[in-house]
Structure 1
């Protein structure tokens, strides 16, 4: 899961490199979604949200 989190942030930086507003919005959305599910322990549920 941590690998995916880092990959999403690297991808965000490449895709939105010339758009600071989009970079920030994507950063906030990625962090929000991961934060909302950080306490999930069910492997099935984790795979579903990924």
Structure 2
């Protein structure tokens, strides 16, 4: 039973490492979008 659990944990860890670079890029792009939208809102607030 313990061997099956260890093997499953290893498989899950390997899948997470495969998805990590993609997730990191999604986070970077999302952060850039947030910064752009925040600057847009500040610009509109200052202009009005």
Range class of TM-score, shorter chain: 0.3 to 0.5
Give the helix-richer structure, 1 or 2: 2
| RCO higher in structure (CA 8 A, sep ≥6) | 1
Q: Radius of gyration: which is bigger?
A: 2
TM-score normalised by length of structure 1: 0.41
TM-score normalised by length of structure 2: 0.43
